[in-house]
């Protein structure tokens, strides 16, 4: 597998540790912590290499929160760059398997990889090499509820795949400077993907930690720690409001924020190693031409909204399919009206 951006094993332990921190909503916390890879005896399914599943680990939250806070303090703090030029296509084909991250080039698209990782009791489509998930149960970390998933035009939208760090948020905080291959890795990196409740995902949109947090308070510590991990891995920055919000949440999880100012000079490093310079934001050098009001489609099919799509029994619509439009794809993941 090709070289990729990684934080190292310590951050894996960090995310696992933070799964145990938060408020006292025990039922919701248990639901959020049970997304394990289901056991299967299917030879075809076993041939697929999946992203690493998250085991249930109970540890003290304070040290893990402090580690997340330390990583947060290495991120640059800048204003949000203009969204000009953003397009989902700049992050590669939606759910492509041709990437250099866990699960890449395993013969199964990323969407199904994550469904297989996060759902339990899954049933896969015969003849799909154990790839296409037809049904299963999600212990949704965002709401703490148990959600049944059944693939179908009227039912698939109950479970969606969220980019923990939204693509457009990443675009405005450094992803413009990544190569196309790195952006494709970012969009398909299991560390940045989570199967969640569909309506809750739609409500999140492209919000960052300063504007949106999971309703399930017991998952917020893990949620912001994952955002920090991903942004550090891809050298993205945070806004001051975003950093303040994450610091506050980590403090609630036991991080020692008393001796750490949230108004530090960005990129202050105490290591004796030569620091990696953070490039200043520069606008894209290419000229951006805004897309037409309606995305071109292979046919004249047009839907005014997702209600019309569902009424026609056409949901979900993937990028490139008749009737797909970016205005119907609120989370920019290449799947409209999920």
pLDDT computed for residue 260 by the predictor:
61
Mean pLDDT of 185-202: 98
Under a CB-based contact definition with an 8 Å cutoff, are residues 4 and 101 in contact? yes
Please say if the pLDDT value at position 56 is more than 60: no
Distance of CA 248 to the CA centre of its chain: 21
Q: In this structure, how many other beta carbons lie within 10 angstroms of the beta carbon of residue 52?
A: 12
pLDDT computed for residue 48 by the predictor:
60
What does the DSSP assignment read for 80-103? Answer: PPP-TT--GGGG-STT-S-SSSTT
Q: Which residues are CB-neighbours of 222 under 8 A, at least 6 positions away?
A: 15, 18, 19, 21, 22, 32, 141
List the single range of 38-47, 81-90, 268-277 with lowest mean pLDDT.
38-47
List the single range of 9-13, 76-80, 175-179, 328-332 with lowest mean pLDDT.
9-13
More confident residue, 277 or 226: 226
Please say if the pLDDT value at position 67 is more than 80: yes
Please say if the pLDDT value at position 126 is more than 80: yes
pLDDT computed for residue 335 by the predictor:
77
Separation of alpha carbons 13 and 9, rounded Å: 7
Using alpha carbons, select from 218, 215, 224 the residue that is nearest to residue 248.
Answer: 224
> pLDDT band at 279, cuts 50/70/90?
very low
Separation of alpha carbons 92 and 285, rounded Å: 19
pLDDT computed for residue 330 by the predictor:
73
Tens of pLDDT along 100-120? 999 999 999 999 999 999 999
List the single range of 6-10, 83-87, 147-151, 332-336 with lowest mean pLDDT.
6-10
Please say if the pLDDT value at position 62 is more than 50: yes
Please say if the pLDDT value at position 19 is more than 90: no
Average pLDDT, the chain: 78
Please say if the pLDDT value at position 42 is more than 50: no
3-state secondary structure 111-157: HHHHHHHHEEEEEECCCCCCCCEEEEEEECCCCCCEEEEECCCCCHH
Under a CB-based contact definition with an 8 Å cutoff, are residues 175 and 183 in contact? yes
> pLDDT band at 244, cuts 50/70/90?
very high
Packing angle of the helix pair 61-72, 220-233 (nearest 10 deg): 40
More confident residue, 228 or 271: 228
Tens of pLDDT along 297-327? 444 688 888 888 777 777 777 776 788 787 8
Please say if the pLDDT value at position 159 is more than 80: yes
Report the residue count for the chain.
338
List the single range of 108-122, 189-203, 252-266 with lowest mean pLDDT.
252-266
- Alpha carbon separation from 90 to 85, 94, 177, 187, 298 (Å, rounded): 9, 10, 12, 10, 20
Separation of alpha carbons 193 and 200, rounded Å: 15
Mean pLDDT of 209-222: 96
* Token code pair at residue 240: 């001051």
Burial group, residue 176, by CB count within 10 angstroms (0-12, 13-18, 19+): buried
Please say if the pLDDT value at position 166 is more than 90: yes
């Amino acid at each position: 597998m090709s070289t990729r951006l990684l934080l190292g094993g310590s951050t894996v332990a960090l995310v696992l540790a933070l799964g145990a921190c938060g408020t006292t909503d025990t039922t919701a916390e248990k639901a959020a912590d049970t997304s394990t890879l289901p056991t299967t005896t299917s030879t075809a399914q076993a041939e697929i290499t999946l992203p690493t599943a998250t085991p249930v680990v109970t540890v003290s939250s304070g040290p893990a929160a402090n580690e997340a806070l330390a990583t947060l303090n290495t991120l640059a703090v800048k204003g949000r760059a203009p969204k000009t030029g953003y397009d989902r296509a700049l992050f590669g084909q939606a759910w492509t398997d041709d990437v250099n991250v866990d699960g890449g080039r395993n013969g199964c698209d990323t969407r199904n990889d994550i469904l297989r990782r996060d759902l339990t009791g899954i049933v896969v489509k015969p003849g799909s090499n154990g790839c296409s998930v037809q049904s299963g149960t999600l212990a949704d970390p965002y709401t703490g509820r148990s959600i049944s998933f059944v693939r179908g035009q009227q039912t698939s939208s109950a479970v969606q795949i969220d980019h923990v760090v939204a693509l457009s948020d990443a675009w405005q905080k450094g992803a413009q400077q990544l190569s196309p291959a790195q952006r494709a890795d970012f969009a398909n990196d299991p560390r940045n993907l989570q199967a969640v409740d569909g309506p809750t995902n739609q409500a999140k949109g492209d919000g960052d930690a300063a504007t949106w947090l999971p309703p399930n308070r017991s998952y917020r510590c893990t949620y912001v720690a994952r955002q920090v991990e991903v942004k550090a891995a891809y050298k993205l920055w945070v806004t001051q409001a975003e950093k303040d919000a994450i610091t506050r949440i980590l403090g609630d999880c036991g991080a020692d924020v008393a001796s750490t100012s949230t108004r530090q000079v960005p990129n202050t490093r105490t290591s004796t190693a030569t620091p990696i310079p953070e490039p200043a934001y520069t606008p894209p050098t290419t000229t951006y031409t805004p897309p037409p009001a309606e995305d071109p489609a292979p046919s004249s099919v047009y839907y005014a909204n997702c209600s019309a799509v569902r009424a026609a029994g056409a949901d979900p619509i993937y990028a490139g399919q008749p009737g797909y439009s970016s205005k119907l794809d609120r989370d920019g993941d290449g799947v409209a009206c999920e």
